[in-house]
């Protein structure tokens, strides 16, 4: 067992694409399949600037709102559409009995904390590191180091779990963490491979055994 387990939030502990689809069903109920594909590409799993995303959305769907207003409202709106996946809360609860468990996530404090509450994880994990509250975001090594200092452990005795090769896995690996990549897209060939690949979060159980 690792001395500490650090977990990304979006697309690691819940399906962000499903949350975007639920958001769209409420906010843009007229979308056809092509619109929905366009929307997901435009969002790029949350990796594009929120203002660029909102600007493109307002233009394509001729929304009666300003792009900057949508860009700042979207994160909390999306958070309100996050849903628990079967078994995830129970799995994190088992883990939190055995070792230190912390979340390391990029986003606003309000949105990320709402997601944790909706997932039933806010009272389960031992620490939460949110870029919007700390003023440092992944892939900046400082946010990983802060989390590590909190744990009091060496990186080599800890695992970092995330879906983003560039923001989660590469910086964690550079600091010496064992890495577990929650597979979503293809692994970028230019990056050294993660220590472990997780087809689902349930696969983390074996990695941590
Ligand atoms: Mg993520």
Please report the pLDDT score of residue 151 as a whole number: 98
pLDDT single digits (tens) 6-40 = 999 999 999 999 999 999 999 988 899 999 999 99
Question: Ligand 1 centroid to 37 CA: how many Å?
Answer: 20
- pLDDT single digits (tens) 54-66: 999 999 999 999 9
Distance in Å, CA 182 to ligand 1 centroid: 9
CA of 134 to the centre of ligand 1 (A): 18
CATH of domain 4-14+84-208: 3.40.50.1000
SS (H, E, C) the chain: CCCEEEECCECCCECHHHHHHHHHHHHCCCCCHHHHHHHHHHHHHHCCCHHHHHHHHHHHHCCCCCHHHHHHHHHHHHHCCCCCCCCHHHHHHHHHHHCEEEEEECCCHHHHHHHHHHCCCCCCCCEEEEHHHHCCCCCCHHHHHHHHHHHCCCHHHEEEEECCHHHHHHHHHHCCCEEEEECCCCCCCCCCCCCEEECCHHHHHHHCC
pLDDT at 102 over 90: yes
pLDDT in the model for residue 29? 83
pTM, two decimals, is 0.96
């Amino acid at each position: 067992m690792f001395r500490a387990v650090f977990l990304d939030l979006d697309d690691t502990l819940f399906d962000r694409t499903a949350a975007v689809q639920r958001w769209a069903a409420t906010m843009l109920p007229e979308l056809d399949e092509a619109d929905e594909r366009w929307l997901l590409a435009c969002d790029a799993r949350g990796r594009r600037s929120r203002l660029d995303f909102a600007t493109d959305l307002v233009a394509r769907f001729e929304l009666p709102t300003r792009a900057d207003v949508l860009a700042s409202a979207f994160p909390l709106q999306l958070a309100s559409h996050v849903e628990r996946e079967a078994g995830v809360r129970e799995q994190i609860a088992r883990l939190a009995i055995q070792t230190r468990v912390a979340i390391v996530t990029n986003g606003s404090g309000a949105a990320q904390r709402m997601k944790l509450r909706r997932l039933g994880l806010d009272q389960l994990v031992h620490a939460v590191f949110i870029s919007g509250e700390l003023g440092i975001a992944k892939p900046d090594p400082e946010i990983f180091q802060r989390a590590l200092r909190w744990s009091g452990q060496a990186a080599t005795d800890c695992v970092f779990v995330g879906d983003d090769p560039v923001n989660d896995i590469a910086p964690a690996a550079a600091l010496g963490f064992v890495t577990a990549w929650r597979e979503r897209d293809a692994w970028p060939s230019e990056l050294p491979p993660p220590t472990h690949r997780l087809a689902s979060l349930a696969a983390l159980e074996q990695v941590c055994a």
